[in-house]
Amino acid sequence: MNSGFDFLASLPAIAPEVGLTILAIVILFLDLRLQESQRRNLAIVTGVGMFGIAILYLLLWFPVPLSTAPADAIIGVTAPQSLGAFEGLYWGGMIRHDSLAQIFKVMILCGGALTALMAADTKTLGRKGEFYLIVIVSSLGGCLIAGATDLIMVFLGLETMTIPLYVLAAFNRNDKRSPESGMKYFLFGSFASAILLYGLSLLYGFAGTTSLPGIASYLNSEAFGAHPFAVLVSLTLIIVGFGFKISAAPFHFWTPDVYEGAPTPVTAFLSVSSKAASFALLLRFLLAVFPAGLVIGGITIPDFWAQLVTALAVISMLLGNIVALAQRNIKRMLAYSSIAQAGYTLIGIAALQGAPETSVAAISFYMFMYTFTNILAFAVVVIFSEATGSEEIKDLAGLSRRSPWLALTMTIGLLSLAGVPPAAGFFGKFFLFQAAVEAGLVWIAILGVLMSIVALYYYLTVVKVMYVDHGVDEDKPIPVSSTVGWVLGLSSLAVVLLGTFAVTPVFDWALRGFPSLFGS
């Protein structure tokens, strides 16, 4: 890297964050200016703005490895900004700009944009400017931790993402369930943050530096004198903290209550964005600080975290899928299903040591398709409960005759969650299990497949209720506004494309994640 500080060269690393900050200010002003009746347009401004940021970020600043850059650009004479930006550490080593950060930032931006559009016509959120503002700020935190390479940045990004989520969960004060879910989320979330932070403070203490590459090189060096037990304690605390954030069992207590009580667009948002960002951070953290082959005092540290994560994955898959079978509320069912999905994704983390390249790509791809899939399923729940006031699975009866398109999109979403071929979920699971097999964890891949079959039962039950059962209101179609129609259309298109034509390009993009993780 150049010794001098070059603002333009450093900008790409935080381009989405800068864009989101500007968007947040714009929303704040528009919220003041617009009449109550026009505030619905804020949703469109937020949605289009966030999509715009994602597209610009993709087009302008594709990360280029330093090694393939033209020679004069490395010296720093003329950096061709429009053609791409160089991978590496920026902003005093706080942020890394690389493919892994980019793919996760793009999915967080898409998740936020679709959430804003989805909420446009809801009675409780649609005309509240502050709702859009908080969604933007939370996405900003998510973008920050997708590239964070410093303990301070990790902590700040996590809190910037989570504290707005507490507010969002408690947003609807007229519904008694919403503040309750906010309170539960807050109590568990702040407890988890404190545990994670204690682990981070120990890690800082061992190495005497807050930068992740610095900690890694110190842990690897001869100078490191601390007892391995202390490192294991810190690692355990950190993984427990992350376990709460990604709602992995046995740290999942808050998930069903928060998912059920929070306003549905908020549930959709926190089930995709915060999860994706936390997985990005967990990946980077484990690979950068405790890389494969790190031995301290005779204990192979990566084996320890791999075993811990494997245990979390197995418990999450078993508990999530089996408890989901008994749910009657659709949001609760999706909550347990999201615990199970966290379990599948953790398989990828467990395989990080044996097959790092494939599993990084598999996790990125899984989270990418999961963003659209979950948004799709929750968008249908938003429309349905807005029209009927019900969130019970049995009330979906006859939806295929009542609103055939709505039933079809819900089916696409559920099939993708279940992992049935035409939809994206199939390839998502396929890549994860492939990574596990490559890493020699065949038994966990088999368990994953078995649990997917269990999951198929409860997803298909909903499809059966919609298509076979007869309901009372079958002659009353459910109104779908054009804004939410766009959400449904875009996400179903994304889900179907990610399961068919777009698999190879997106997976190739995701494959660039691991090689870009290290260096300068």
- Can you give the binding site for other proteins, defined by CB under 8 A? 151-152, 155-156, 159, 163, 166-167, 170, 173, 176-177, 179-184, 186-187, 190-191, 193-195, 197-198, 200-202, 204-205, 208-211, 256-257, 260-261, 327, 329, 332
Nearer residue to other proteins within complex by CB, 71 or 223 = 223
Nearer residue to other proteins within complex by CB, 209 or 388 = 209
Nearer residue to other proteins within complex by CB, 111 or 256 = 256
Q: How far is the CB of 176 from other proteins (least distance, A)?
A: 5
At position 24, the amino acid (one-letter code) is: A
Tokens representing residue 9 in the block: 């060269």
Q: How far is the CB of 211 from other proteins (least distance, A)?
A: 8
Nearer residue to other proteins within complex by CB, 97 or 184 = 184
Q: Give yes or no for a contact between 129 and 28, defined as CB atoms under 8 angstroms apart.
A: yes
Nearer residue to other proteins within complex by CB, 33 or 176 = 176
Phi-psi region of 135 (alpha: psi -120 to 50; beta: other; left: phi over 0): alpha
Diameter of the chain measured on Cα atoms: 75
Q: How far is the CB of 360 from other proteins (least distance, A)?
A: 28
Query: How many CB atoms neighbour CB 508 within 10 A?
Result: 10
Nearer residue to other proteins within complex by CB, 190 or 461 = 190
Strand partners, 378: none
**How far is residue 316's CA from residue 252's CA, in Å, rounded to a whole number?**
9
At position 349, the amino acid (one-letter code) is: I
Q: How far is the CB of 175 from other proteins (least distance, A)?
A: 9
Q: How far is the CB of 205 from other proteins (least distance, A)?
A: 4
Query: How many CB atoms neighbour CB 118 within 10 A?
Result: 31
The residue assigned the tokens 């429009």 is 82
Tokens representing residue 509 in the block: 């993009």
CA 354 to chain centre: 24
**How far is residue 81's CA from residue 338's CA, in Å, rounded to a whole number?**
39
CA-based nearest residue to 118, from 373, 378, 469 = 378
Give the N- to C-terminal CA distance of the chain in Å, as an integer: 7
Nearer residue to other proteins within complex by CB, 155 or 344 = 155
